[in-house]
Copies of this chain bind each other. A is one copy, B any other.
Amino acid sequence: MKKKRPSLKDIADALNISTTTVSFVLNGKGEEKKISKELIAKVEAHLKEINYKPNLVARSLRTGSTRVLVFMVEDISNSHFSKVGRIIEDISYKNDYRVLFCSTENDVKRTQDLIHLFHERQVDGFIIVPPPGIEKEISYLLENEVPVVLFDRKIPELEADYVIINNFEGAKQSTQHLIDSGYKNIAFITIDLDQIQMHDREAGYIAAIEEAGFSPNILKIPYDTSNIPSSREKIKKFIKESKDIDAIFFATNYLSQSGLKCIHQIDAKLINKLGIISFDDSNFFEMYSPTVSAFAQPVDEMANQLMKIMFNKLKNKEQAVSSKLVLEGTLVTRESSLKK
């Protein structure tokens, strides 16, 4: 026998008052609406007693707002993204928003599905790390005036707001740091993806290398989450075949982690001969032996700026204040990039 969930009306009937009154009390507008203290107390007691849970679907239909934001990143298990996610979640909770997380796996089809799914369910805003090829869906959201903030990378053709870092500068500084430590034959291992942040990192590496009068040495791995072992093989082959390399700059933190395993598997002592630096920091790098240097993104600042822009959009739907932010990261030097 099915117990129907109590509705506002059931409560109003039980208490012999109107739904309006119950609704006001429920939303903490009792005082404001000058409902008597006693009535408020009575209603609240009853709400608590029956453990009333409002139907948020109905509320959303009425108010047009779900108070839900989505945070779509490449891979939520990547510590860079999950750290930012965590801060975003905290800020949102404080402002009475919930956050749904999801991983796009950098796959357009999947991302499209996710965007439609959430848009149809009326989420209030999107924070997206856009995979290549997603321009159309993003413009669709923009046309429909759904708040969108891009993160980690921008889409140059699009009038969308974003918070990114200066990838070129970061990569250049990282490479320069290896050069300053005395390394002369610095390889760059990156992901073969046509995305602006990857191009910028590569360009930064090349700029530093050429300024120093060295020659670039680049390995590009296909982006393919399902095929980690084959990436490993490529990295191993590359390292084994280029015996003269004395340092490696990895373009992402997950590449660094794969790379470190490869280096270890080739020869347990090899890690002590190579200079290593990673773009993007990771908890793992502090625990590794040797500790691994990294170019760290300002996680806290990024999350805060992201939410500032998002809340601004949420509040002033009309007013299109364009916010395009390029932040600077910091070089975190640890043992792996000291001169060996």
From A98, which residue of chain B is reached at the shortest CB distance? B117
Does A273 interact with chain B (Cβ within 8 Å)?
A: no
From A287, which residue of chain B is reached at the shortest CB distance? B229
Does A220 interact with chain B (Cβ within 8 Å)?
A: no
Does A199 interact with chain B (Cβ within 8 Å)?
A: no
Q: How far is the CA of A140 from the CA of B55 in the complex (A)?
A: 16
User: Quick one: CB contact mask for A272-292 with B, threshold 8 Å, 1 for yes?
Assistant: 000000000001000101000
Does A122 interact with chain B (Cβ within 8 Å)?
A: yes
Q: How far is the CA of A228 from the CA of B286 in the complex (A)?
A: 12
Task: Report chain B residues within 8 Å CB of A53.
Answer: 116, 119-120
Report the copy number of this chain in the oligomer. Answer: 2
Does A28 interact with chain B (Cβ within 8 Å)?
A: no
Name which of A77, A229, A283, A317 has the most chain B CB atoms within 10 A of its CB. Answer: A77
From A102, which residue of chain B is reached at the shortest CB distance? B101
A122 with B57: CB separation less than 8 A: yes
Does A145 interact with chain B (Cβ within 8 Å)?
A: yes
Size of A's binding interface in residues, CB under 8 A: 40
Determine which of B61, B102, B289 lies in contact with A57 in the assembled complex, contact meaning CB atoms within 8 Å: B61
Q: How far is the CA of A140 from the CA of B145 in the complex (A)?
A: 39
| Contact A57 to B66, CB < 8 A, known contacts A265-B289, A287-B229, A289-B265 | yes
A120 with B54: CB separation less than 8 A: yes
Q: How far is the CA of A57 from the CA of B59 in the complex (A)?
A: 10
A56 with B5: CB separation less than 8 A: no
A100 with B98: CB separation less than 8 A: no
A58 with B61: CB separation less than 8 A: yes
Q: How far is the CA of A54 from the CA of B122 in the complex (A)?
A: 10
Q: Which residues of A from 244 to 293 have beta carbons under 8 Å from B?
A: 261, 265, 268, 283, 287, 289
Q: How far is the CA of A119 from the CA of B56 in the complex (A)?
A: 9
Query: DSSP class of A's interface residues: helix, strand, loop or mixed?
Result: mixed
A3 with B57: CB separation less than 8 A: no
Q: How far is the CA of A100 from the CA of B98 in the complex (A)?
A: 13
B56 with A121: CB separation less than 8 A: yes
| Contact A121 to B287, CB < 8 A, known contacts A2-B318, A5-B144, A100-B100 | no
| Contact A317 to B117, CB < 8 A, known contacts A122-B56, A140-B51 | no
B3 with A145: CB separation less than 8 A: yes
Q: How far is the CA of A51 from the CA of B144 in the complex (A)?
A: 12
Q: How far is the CB of A273 from chain B (nearest CB, A)?
A: 16
Does A242 interact with chain B (Cβ within 8 Å)?
A: no
Task: Report chain B residues within 8 Å CB of A51.
Answer: 140
Extra A-B contacts (8), CB below 8 Å, given A56-B120, A57-B61, A57-B121: A2-B318, A53-B116, A55-B61, A56-B122, A76-B76, A76-B77, A101-B102, A265-B289
Q: Which residues of A contact B (CB under 8 A)?
A: 2-3, 5, 51, 53-58, 60-61, 66, 76-77, 98, 100-102, 116-117, 119-122, 140, 143-145, 228-229, 232, 261, 265, 268, 283, 287, 289, 317-318
